[in-house]
Structure 1
Amino acid sequence: MHADDLLPGDTPLRLIDQEGTGHPHARLPFPSTPVLLDGYRRLVLGRRLNEQADALVRQGRLAVYPSSQGQEAAEVAAAMVLGDEDWLFPTYRDSVAVISRGVDPFEAFLLLRGDWHSGYDPKEHRIAPQSTPLATQLLHAVGVAHAARLRGEDTVVLAMCGDGATSEGDFHEALNFAAVFHLPVVFLVQNNGYAISVPLSRQTAAPSLAHKGVGYGMRGRLVDGNDLAALLALLGEAVQEARDGGGPTLVEAVTYRVKPHTNADDATRYRSQEEVEPWLARDPLLRLRTWLAAQGALSDGDDAEAHAHAESVAARVRAQLTADAEPHPQDLFAHVYATPTPQLREQSRLLAAELEAEEAVR
């Protein structure tokens, strides 16, 4: 592959601009209206769940929530471009991607409440547990892709990370291994401008994060992270190339973290409201809604229906998460080892005896 084929364009790919005007691409097909309408409904649901999760944190029902408000287009696109047998490797900020791929929102949020180990079955949904350490999931993603290749499976892996993760050694190791072994992996970097309080300018001197791909012999692609149409087109192409044996692609989605890093972060310490304001006008929901309405594909009634559905899901999740959990004491010993150790078995028996004696007194 020629080096010029590996380099991204000078500007992010954009099919629908900030004003909601479409701009067909000379090579990439514009996603169909039904697909974009489906994507819009997912965006509406993702936005409402972001808002609901923020409220639940303030109520003490979630321990922490890293909001993806303003980044929902990249989240939704990551889920939509994958097939049933493909794998998604998300980060802690990618709850909307997890939900959009089919996980019940209640199960997706359980990890952030501190329940169990994940809240959903990774094998059932083919979604790895959301990763908190930066970039560690990229190594796991490459391992799954390598194993699938050795077994002759038609599996593509999409691995998500943020701009901060590109400063980690695990990022280098994952991309280098994927490129050397020509693995079916798509690396999606959501460049939202900050790694907690560290701006992108203090993380790299490269023209873009997508330019890092050429150093590994991997395609680098740059896309507007607030344009669902462009994301679907570009990620869809990258997934298909990986499936067809074309190897990995590094995709940088340029977006912005509208909310603080988490509820524990004071973003005013490192950025101004004047910096945030322009990004509010680039909202992926507003952009797509304007385009769909102009095509006659989204009426006021359709829009109201999408929001009503999102509200009903949020209400259900709110009720589930505000209900007090009633764990059984024996749960202390569950999911520690596949085969419990003799010590754990003994402790479990002692606890069972104490519980039985307590019940007899009652």
Structure 2
Amino acid sequence: MKQVLENVENQFEMFQVLDESGKVVNKDDLPDLSDDELKELMRRMVYTRILDQRSIALNRQGRLGFYAPTAGQEASQLGSQFALEKEDYILPGYRDVPQLIWQGLPLYQAFLFSKGHFHGNQYPDELRATSPQIIIGAQYVQTAGVALGLKKRDKKNVAITYTGDGGTSQGDFYEGINNAGAFKAPAIFVVQNNQFAISVPVEKQTNAKTLAQKAIAAGIEGIQVDGMDVLAVYAATKMAREHAVDGNGPTLIETLTYRFGPHTMSGDDPTRYRTDEMDQEWEKKDPLVRFRKYLESKNIWTEEEENQVIEDAKEDIKKAIKQAEQQPKQKVTDLIDNMYEELPANLQEQKEIYQAKESK
């Protein structure tokens, strides 16, 4: 039995295309992306890093509400989203707002979501996505259902979802991958292993050597990817998508990544459970630095281009937060009306009470 386990674990070697210095170490799996596509991917990563920095500042100013930092996870988030089609469905966790934005969510609505405003969840009809899930792992079960619906309607699309390493300890994680596997539903399950479920290190959550190997019990494909390597994440997601739309079922992708900031801006202090040495070691793997070096080696990215992206991002964010703050303030009666089509008697009574208060 011990030998069987070791044989399984040894199968999951980390998939990588670029090393930490931006050099190609796996030419066979280098994605077939044009120079323009590579530059667009870099643009999105730089833009998202600025968005994260500004969102943290806006949170501290009291202009945003709940916010989960994303710096360090850009390759994992945007590399996977870049491999999707417009008609694919995204079922994100609360840290996965960047994927929604690049899939088509207006930036001001992303800010409204953070502020807890209901309009932040009123998505454009063309955006195939659910609002970020707050319940850890619940999106995995939902993704199995959405993917099965796509299969039943003979759609050549996939449903992709995300959770962190802590999400794999939830029952919904196993139920979701098992159900999708049983029905060969076109789903992609991404586990962004950023080493800590809030403050608990991954090795204290599970005795498994990798999280990718959990796919085996569900009878689905599984792969562990360097989550700081955007090209590796893109390639793995692209392969998983092709596998799914060809009728072969779901894939579990574990991306080894790291969040440079706290778990959320709601009081978490990462210095209590992470060392300076660990932070410094992972900062050497920064996905933006790695990809920048690769593009510079191809002579297709310059400091001037990056600075322009930074200025564009700052201007877009300035306009979006202004638009979000101009949205009519949410009222208690809005919450009541949005919850029910036909109000029960007790809520009708409460609504009338609050209407009277709000009219003063």
Structure 2 residue 286 is the aligned partner of structure 1 residue 311: no
Aligned position for 1:3: none
Distance 1:313 1:273 in 2: 34
Question: Does the CA contact (< 8 Å) of 1:118 and 1:130 recur in 2?
Answer: no
What is aligned with 2:221? 219
Aligned to 2:172: 170
What does residue range 1-362 of structure 1 map to in structure 2 within 5 Å? 9-27=11-29, 29-116=31-118, 118-121=120-123, 123-263=125-265, 264-321=267-324, 325-327=328-330, 330-345=333-348, 348=351
The residue identity in structure 2 corresponding to 1:273 is D
Partner SS, residue 45 of structure 1: helix
User: How far does the alpha carbon of each residue in 1:254-303 deviate from its partner, in whole angstroms, 9 at most, with x for none?
Assistant: 00121111121011111112211111121111111111111111123322
Aligned-residue identity in percent: 34
Separation of aligned partners in 1, 2:12 and 2:142: 31
Give the conservation status (yes or no) of the 8 Å contact 2:109–2:324: no
Deviation, structure 1 residue 13: 1.5
Q: 1:90, CA displacement in angstroms?
A: 0.5
Determine if contact 1:87/1:158 at 8 Å carries over to the other structure. yes
Higher mean C-alpha displacement, 240-249 vs 14-23: 14-23
Residues of 1 paired with 2:310 and 2:12: CA distance?
Answer: 37
321 and 29 in structure 1: CA distance in 2 versus 1, 3 angstrom threshold = closer
Q: Which moved more, 1:307-316 or 1:131-140?
A: 307-316
Range 150-159 or range 339-348, more displaced: 339-348
| Contact 1:89–1:157 under 8 Å retained in 2 | yes
One-letter amino acid of the structure 1 residue matched with residue 76 of structure 2 = A
Contact 2:137 2:172 in 1 (8 A): yes
Q: State how far apart, in whole Å, the 1-side matches of 2:315 and 2:84 are.
A: 27
Q: Which amino acid aligns with 2:276?
A: Q
- TM-score, normalised to structure 2, is 0.90
| Structure 1: gaps (5+ residues) | 1-5
TM-score of the two chains, using structure 1 as the length reference: 0.90
Q: Partners in 2 of 1:125 and 1:300 — Cα distance?
A: 33
Asked if structure 2 preserves the Cα contact closer than 8 Å seen for 1:24 and 1:30, the reply is no
CA contact (8 A) 1:8 1:220 kept: no
| Superposition deviation, residue 132 in structure 1 | 1.0
Distance 1:324 1:98 in 2: 20
Contact 2:111 2:321 in 1 (8 A): no
The offset of 1:243, in angstroms, is 0.7
What is the CA-CA distance between 1:153 and the residue it aligns to?
2.2
Which deviates further from its counterpart, 56-65 or 334-343? Answer: 334-343
Aligned-partner Cα distance in 1 for 2:10–2:240: 13
Taking the aligned partners of 2:10 and 2:157, their CA distance within structure 1 comes to 25
SS in 1 for 2:259: coil
Which deviates more from structure 2 when the two are superposed, residues 250-259 or residues 110-119? 110-119
Q: In the TM superposition, what is the alpha-carbon distance from 1:97 to its structure 2 partner?
A: 1.3
1:345 CA drift (Å)? 4.8
